A and B are shown apart, each in its own frame.
Chain A
Amino acid sequence: MAESYGWAGKILRVNLTTGEITTQDDAKYHKYIGGMGMAYRIMYEEAPMDLDPYDEKALVIFGVGPLTGAGVPCSGRMNVTFRSTWSKGNSIVDAHMGGHIGSMLKYAGYDGIVVSGISEKPVYLRIEDGEVSLEDASEIWGKGTFAANKWMVEQNGREFETASIGPAGENLVDYSTLNTSFGNSGGAGLGAAMGNKKLKGLAIRGTGSVKVADPKKVLELSNYMMGNLIGGNNNHNVPAQPQSWAEYSATSGKNRWSGAPGRMWKKAPGGPVDTGEQPYNDINKVALRCFKGYFDFGAPAAEYTVKNGGCSSCPIRCYTEYDVDPLADYDLPTHNSNTCMPVLYGTRVYPDGVHDFKYEGDGTMVINLAWSHAVDDMGLWDNYGNLNRDLQWILRMPREEATKYISEAEYDSLPWKWEKAGDPRWEVELIRRMAYGEGDLSVIAKGTLAMMEKFNLPKSWLDRTDGATNSNLVYNGFPNHHGPAEAWQVGMLYNLVYNRDCMIHEIVCETGSGAPYEVTKKVMEDFFGEGCYDKAKAYTPINENKAKLAAYCVNDKNFHDSATLCNWMWPMTQSPSKERNYHGDLDLQADFMTAVTGETYTQAGLQEDGARITQMLRVMTAISFQQNCGSANLRQEHDAICDWVFDKEPDFKAFEEGTTKLDRADMEKAKDLFYDVFGWDRTTGVPTRETLEKYDLADMADDLEKRGIYAQNTAAAE
């Protein structure tokens, strides 16, 4: 195997049917970077979209990249590629997880694990450097992820990093995850994809290293990043509260750089830790900047916070680690940790509201942390809040209405007294039923589309303007993720590309940064051209720079999930430094690629690499839509936008100040421009032969030709 820097140089191949485990030199995949890109090429070549997602030959591909485990800040990510069972088209989809397991996989000597086949009995994959084996998992099959992870560490040793699926995955519940016990998870149905293979989890120990071409440069760039460029979580570049060194603080008083003098981790064993001031150039205080709990819940969070946590290599600690002691009164675990979705929407299943537990205003937080632990233990995914929204939709109905959808017996079997009392056991019981597929209600965890089919809800159900129970931007079964409400047409466009929520944070990191609009606008326009950056609720019609920016975001995100870098933090667009006029350094990720791999990368080149992945995604999406929806016209079948996006807030017209609604004709023009940037046919949204050849994907063009998809383009145009 050729010595290479950055990449470990080989991938593992595990066939669960035969038990065969082999390794493969992966140099031929390096042009796809790694992670997502490498997995897409492998999936295309070996497990075509014609396969059923649960076919024995279907693949689950764990992928890390050249930067994972190489010391680059915010690189502790692992991408997992498989087939969606719940979104329209059953196409290719990714789970993205943080924690410590991705870098451990690299230290063990692998850039990825390609899992095929179906095991006869439950197993877990044990990797200890070159020693790889499938081990009996019958002891933990049926157990929650916390118990399963603990068991795997106890069986194998303290230096193993583990991740496990829960009952949801075992029971092939479509909304399911793979979890670590710190709360890191990969969703999108990964639990079921593994459960179908009877693969309970991973236990990995690596005693090796990631070879780095220029270690001094990696250290130098890391210090440059941490002392000049990095902000708080989501790279918010000004502190939420005024700090003596800072020219600005968040205009709203709130962002994810939420650590501040007087904001304490009050349950630290040795007494309160004051997160204090964190000057932008003080490397040794970066980890105190993000106080995600305070951002999410305000002052009550401080009462329960022990410390911050997060992923390997990342100085921004976006997980808050809590001891929520009131939960002990309900015999529920109290030491919970998470960031984002699992801690945000638990209260939505309490139509009668929640109450305070121990401190004024702590009700939402306590309920949400109970939700977080329960979904993580069951390995249940929330589909970026659709699980909660769809549950809320039905749970807030009067009994006579709700029982049109679920049986009276089931309705009456729900422990409503706990709901009315704001008791956390209510949500835990709902989650248990979802994870075990119990009752009619549990169809909600099979996906919004499955629920609509079972409940005979028309397509127009997705056009409703009730944002609390409907944030689906498209008709494909997944919701808005940082879409037009935060990023005008740009956010709408990049929500069209994937087969799950987009997971793109390039714009929301800027709009949510807290810096004054004019400051951020200057940065964005200097980088991406005039007119690309609209003001909140004061949108302007589409233009070419906006379409280019949307395409940039897609390609950049795809690079991040391939390298791997955290898309919540990267790229370094803004900076907290006044001396830099708040400009970040978009070239830094390419500079890290060069320093780590020893090959020369540029930001423009990384855009091309990201775009190659975008093209592969689009090709596979077209093929699966032809297979499963009868048409590969992605403009019609995949990229159609729900009515509410244009019809909400009827008192406003699009582009008036005060609204984030979009305009239909303008969005169709936006699609034209967006497709042009990518080289997609305007009528069908499918990559043209010329485009695919430009990205060295001629075989995919041949495939589209053979499948009659190009003929369909021509027919549609006529």
Chain B
Amino acid sequence: MAKTDFLTADMTRRQFMKISGKSLAGLTLSASMLSLFGCSQQQVDSGAVATWALPQGLLVVNADLCTGCQRCEINCTLTNDGVCSSYISRVKIQRRLNLDGAGNGLLSGTDNCWVYFPDTCRQCEDPACGNACPQKAITTDSRGIRVVDTDKCIGCGACHDACPWHMPTVNPETGKSSKCIACGACVAGCPSGALSIVDWDSVTSAAQAAYLDL
């Protein structure tokens, strides 16, 4: 995507969907956009900033701010499962803390590495998890969120296997898959501001302002 394409006024959630979960490296953001995202262009250039398109806004993850406390996982599972867990959390940091297989995590190099950050569901337009589900248990709700119908789910794990990032997770205690429903609990409780949600109106206004400045 060309830089100017990204900054056009008709930039929509759909366009952000295309880069959901990817770092914004390579893009030049306007000052107002940087301010909204709470990051610097240097952080964008270094690959520290990634976004996820959610119905209520753009989830911004700033890896430089993540301190690995797992409160996102705690808040996710207490809110959605009524228990406290890491494995079934819909936002995942623990699996990146040590080694994520992509060059991040404490043990990823020859010396300690301090790059680790949370990951979550991209809410893909063409969801591999839903396509793989033999029970058609992953459907799209009125907000555009892919949700698991636990009445239909048989806990086979096809969604986990099919997702390129293995985000849906079968809860071994309930036998049901869990995936992100964009509730925002992780963001609300992040103590370092590594996670934030910017509402779509603000994103669109900032993009339009940047477009007019061009």
- A residues with CB within 8 A of B: 69-71, 73, 100, 103-104, 107, 129, 146, 149-150, 153-154, 158-162, 181-182, 206-212, 215, 218-219, 222-223, 226, 265, 268-271, 273, 283-288, 306-315, 317, 321, 323, 333-337
* B169 closest partner in A (C-beta): A207
Closest 8 CB pairs of A and B: A270-B43, A315-B191, A287-B192, A335-B112, A209-B85, A271-B42, A209-B83, A270-B48
| New A-B pairs, 4, CB < 8 Å, besides A107-B87, A206-B87, A210-B85 | A129-B172, A269-B46, A283-B189, A285-B191
Taking CB atoms, residues of chain A closer than 8 Å to B67 are 287, 307-310, 317
A159 with B65, Cβ < 8 A, contacts A212-B82, A222-B189 known: no
Flag if B46 contacts A208 (CB, 8 Å).
Answer: no
Flag if A208 contacts B172 (CB, 8 Å).
Answer: yes
Flag if B68 contacts A208 (CB, 8 Å).
Answer: no
Taking CB atoms, residues of chain A closer than 8 Å to B94 are 100, 159, 161
Taking CB atoms, residues of chain A closer than 8 Å to B107 are 149-150, 153-154, 181
- Of the candidates A286, A313, A335, the one whose C-beta lies within 8 Å of that of B70 is A313
B47 to chain A, nearest CB (A): 8
Taking CB atoms, residues of chain A closer than 8 Å to B40 are 270-271
Taking CB atoms, residues of chain B closer than 8 Å to A219 are 75, 78-79
Taking CB atoms, residues of chain B closer than 8 Å to A160 are 98
- Chain B: how many interface residues by the 8 Å CB criterion? 58
0/1 per residue, B33-46, Cβ < 8 Å to A? 00000011011111
Flag if B81 contacts A284 (CB, 8 Å).
Answer: no
Residue B111, interface by CB 8 Å: yes
Interface centre among B74, B82, B83 (most CB of A within 10 A): B74
Flag if B77 contacts A209 (CB, 8 Å).
Answer: yes
Flag if A212 contacts B78 (CB, 8 Å).
Answer: yes
Between A and B, 12 residue pairs with Cβ closer than 8 Å are A104-B86, A158-B105, A206-B86, A208-B173, A212-B83, A268-B48, A270-B44, A270-B48, A270-B62, A271-B42, A285-B191, A307-B66
Residue B156, interface by CB 8 Å: no
Residue B101, interface by CB 8 Å: yes
Taking CB atoms, residues of chain B closer than 8 Å to A211 are 83
Q: In the docked arrangement, what's the CA distance between A212 and B81, Å?
A: 10
Taking CB atoms, residues of chain A closer than 8 Å to B87 are 107, 159, 206-208
A261 to chain B, nearest CB (A): 15
Flag if B78 contacts A71 (CB, 8 Å).
Answer: yes
Q: In the docked arrangement, what's the CA distance between A158 and B97, Å?
A: 8
Q: In the docked arrangement, what's the CA distance between A287 and B70, Å?
A: 12
* B97 closest partner in A (C-beta): A100
B132 to chain A, nearest CB (A): 21
A321 to chain B, nearest CB (A): 4
Taking CB atoms, residues of chain B closer than 8 Å to A223 are 189
- Of the candidates B75, B100, B105, B112, the one whose C-beta lies within 8 Å of that of A146 is B112
A307 with B114, Cβ < 8 A, contacts A153-B99, A270-B43 known: yes
A161 with B191, Cβ < 8 A, contacts A210-B85, A270-B39, A333-B112 known: no
* B99 closest partner in A (C-beta): A158
Flag if B77 contacts A333 (CB, 8 Å).
Answer: no
- B residues with CB within 8 A of A: 39-40, 42-49, 62-71, 74-75, 77-79, 81-88, 94-101, 105-107, 111-115, 172-173, 188-193, 196
Flag if A270 contacts B45 (CB, 8 Å).
Answer: yes
Taking CB atoms, residues of chain A closer than 8 Å to B97 are 100
Taking CB atoms, residues of chain B closer than 8 Å to A104 are 86
Flag if B84 contacts A69 (CB, 8 Å).
Answer: yes
Taking CB atoms, residues of chain A closer than 8 Å to B88 are 207, 209
Flag if A315 contacts B101 (CB, 8 Å).
Answer: no
Q: In the docked arrangement, what's the CA distance between A212 and B77, Å?
A: 11
Taking CB atoms, residues of chain B closer than 8 Å to A284 are 190-193, 196
Q: In the docked arrangement, what's the CA distance between A265 and B79, Å?
A: 32
B114 to chain A, nearest CB (A): 4
Q: In the docked arrangement, what's the CA distance between A261 and B166, Å?
A: 39
Flag if B191 contacts A283 (CB, 8 Å).
Answer: yes
A70 with B191, Cβ < 8 A, contacts A212-B78, A270-B49, A306-B114 known: no
Interface centre among B40, B62, B114, B196 (most CB of A within 10 A): B114
* A211 closest partner in B (C-beta): B83
Q: In the docked arrangement, what's the CA distance between A73 and B71, Å?
A: 8
Flag if B85 contacts A107 (CB, 8 Å).
Answer: yes
Taking CB atoms, residues of chain B closer than 8 Å to A207 are 85, 87-88, 172
A669 to chain B, nearest CB (A): 45
Q: In the docked arrangement, what's the CA distance between A314 and B71, Å?
A: 7
Q: In the docked arrangement, what's the CA distance between A285 and B191, Å?
A: 5
Flag if B71 contacts A315 (CB, 8 Å).
Answer: yes
Q: In the docked arrangement, what's the CA distance between A153 and B96, Å?
A: 12
Q: In the docked arrangement, what's the CA distance between A211 and B62, Å?
A: 31
Taking CB atoms, residues of chain B closer than 8 Å to A286 are 191-192
Taking CB atoms, residues of chain B closer than 8 Å to A337 are 112, 114
Interface centre among A158, A334, A337 (most CB of B within 10 A): A158
Q: In the docked arrangement, what's the CA distance between A286 and B67, Å?
A: 11
* A314 closest partner in B (C-beta): B69
Taking CB atoms, residues of chain A closer than 8 Å to B44 are 270
A229 to chain B, nearest CB (A): 14
Q: In the docked arrangement, what's the CA distance between A210 and B84, Å?
A: 5
Flag if A285 contacts B64 (CB, 8 Å).
Answer: no
Taking CB atoms, residues of chain A closer than 8 Å to B189 are 222-223, 226, 283
Flag if A315 contacts B78 (CB, 8 Å).
Answer: no
Flag if B106 contacts A181 (CB, 8 Å).
Answer: yes
Taking CB atoms, residues of chain A closer than 8 Å to B85 are 107, 207-210
Flag if A309 contacts B48 (CB, 8 Å).
Answer: no
Q: In the docked arrangement, what's the CA distance between A641 and B66, Å?
A: 46
Q: In the docked arrangement, what's the CA distance between A211 and B67, Å?
A: 26
Taking CB atoms, residues of chain A closer than 8 Å to B86 are 103-104, 107, 206
Taking CB atoms, residues of chain B closer than 8 Å to A273 are 64-65
Taking CB atoms, residues of chain B closer than 8 Å to A129 are 172
- Of the candidates B65, B74, B95, B114, the one whose C-beta lies within 8 Å of that of A313 is B74
Q: In the docked arrangement, what's the CA distance between A76 and B79, Å?
A: 20
Q: In the docked arrangement, what's the CA distance between A313 and B45, Å?
A: 30
B59 to chain A, nearest CB (A): 14
Taking CB atoms, residues of chain B closer than 8 Å to A100 are 70, 94, 97
B70 to chain A, nearest CB (A): 5
* A149 closest partner in B (C-beta): B107
Q: In the docked arrangement, what's the CA distance between A225 and B45, Å?
A: 36
Taking CB atoms, residues of chain A closer than 8 Å to B66 are 307
